[in-house]
Amino acid sequence: MFRKILIANRGEIAVRVIRACRELGIASVAVHSTADEEALHVKLADESVCIGPPPARQSYLNMPALLSAAEITNADAVHPGYGFLAESAHFAELCHRAGLTFIGPQPELMRLLGDKVAARAAMAERGLPVLPGSGLLTSDEEAMAVAARIGLPLIIKAVAGGGGRGMKMVRDIGQLCAQLATARKEAEAAFGDGGVYLERLLEAPRHIEVQVLGDGCGRCVAVGERECSIQRRHQKLVEEAPAPALSAEEREDLLGRAAQAVAALHYRGVGTLEFLLERDEQGRARLYFMEMNPRIQVEHTVTEMVTGLDLVREQICVAAGAEVAVLAGRAPIVCRGHSIEVRINAEDPVTFAPSPGCIRALHLPGGPGIRVDTHIYAGYSVPPHYDSLLCKLVVHDEDRPAAVRRLRRALHELVIEGPQTNLDLHRRIVDHPDFIAGRLDTRLLERLAS
In this predicted structure, the answer to whether residue 450 has a pLDDT above a threshold of 80 is no
In this predicted structure, the answer to whether residue 233 has a pLDDT above a threshold of 90 is no
Q: What is the pLDDT of residues 65-85, one digit of tens each?
A: 999 999 999 999 999 999 999
Q: What is the pLDDT of residues 240-282, one digit of tens each?
A: 999 999 999 999 999 999 999 999 999 999 999 999 999 999 9
Q: What is the pLDDT of residues 112-135, one digit of tens each?
A: 999 999 999 999 999 999 999 999
Q: Find the helix or strand (DSSP H, E) in which 269 lies.
A: strand 268-279
**How many residues are given for the chain?**
450
Q: What is the mean pLDDT of residues 301-314?
A: 98
Q: Report the C-alpha gap between 382 and 359 in whole angstroms.
A: 7
CA 76, distance to chain mean position in Å, is: 26
In this prediction the pTM is: 0.95
Q: What is the pLDDT of residues 155-213, one digit of tens each?
A: 999 998 777 888 999 999 999 999 999 999 999 998 899 999 999 999 999 999 999 99
∠ CA 118-123-129, rounded to 5°: 115
* Secondary structure (DSSP) of 136-187: S---HHHHHHHHHHH-SSEEEEETT--TTTT-EEE-SGGGHHHHHHHHHHHH
Residue 260, pLDDT score: 97
Q: Report the C-alpha gap between 338 and 429 in whole angstroms.
A: 18
CB 300 within 8 A of CB 311: yes
Write down the catalytic residue from 295, 371, 400, 406: 295
Query: How many other CB atoms are there within 10 angstroms of residue 350's CB atom?
Result: 7
Residue 199, pLDDT score: 95
| Strand, helix or coil for residue 33 | strand
Residue 449 pLDDT class (50, 70, 90 cuts): confident
- For 438, phi then psi, to 5°, come to 80, 20
Q: What is the pLDDT of residues 361-406, one digit of tens each?
A: 999 999 999 999 999 999 999 999 999 999 999 999 999 999 999 9
**CA distances for 77 relative to 6, 7, 90, 304, angstroms:** 6, 9, 16, 24
Residue 164, pLDDT score: 80
Q: Catalogue all structural domains in the chain, each as residue range(s) with its CATH number.
A: 4-103 (3.40.50.20), 132-200 (3.30.1490.20), 206-449 (3.30.470.20)
Residue 253, pLDDT score: 97
Share of the chain above pLDDT 90, in %: 93
295 is a catalytic site residue: yes
What's the mean pLDDT when you consider all of the chain? 96
